[in-house]
Amino acid sequence: MASRLRHRGLFQIARIPAGATNDVDIIFKTYDQQLNQLPGLTCRTWVFDVLKLLQKPWNGGVLLKCTDIVALEQEIMAWGNSNAFGASGNKQPRPVSASKLCGL
C-alpha cells in the first residue's frame, strides 16, 4: 500500500452495484475538505477511514462486505508480496485477483 511500491496488479475488494457510483464517489470524497487538518493522516489511514465508511449500511446492504479490515490488509499485503517479483521484472499483464474475505 506504500506509494513507493511498484504497481503489482489489481485486487478487488468490493462490487459496486449499478446506481451506486455517485454514492461511492461521495463516500470517497468525505474527507477532502479536512485533509490538511487531520493529524497523522497518511494514504494508508485515509484508505482505512474510507473503507470503514463503505462498511456502513447502504440501500439495504453494505458496499464493502468484509468485516475485518485488519485481516483484509493482511490479505492484500500477502497478495502484493506474492506478486512483488513479477512487478520488479515488469511482468505483463499484471495479475488480477479478488479478496476471499469480502465474499467475492
- 3 in a domain, yes or no? no
**Strand pairing of 10-12 and 57-58?**
unpaired
Question: What predicted TM-score, i.e. pTM, was given to this entire model?
Answer: 0.76
The mean pLDDT value of the chain amounts to: 85
51 within a domain of the structure (yes/no): yes
Residue 88 structural domain: 10-98
Per the structure, how many domains does the chain have? 1
Q: Would 2 be classed as within a structural domain?
A: no
pLDDT(31) > 80: yes
In a domain, residue 1? The reply is no
Q: Tell me the pLDDT tens digit for each residue of 38-86.
A: 778 888 888 999 999 999 999 999 999 999 999 999 999 999 888 887 7
Residues 6+ apart with CB under 8 A from 86: 8, 94, 95
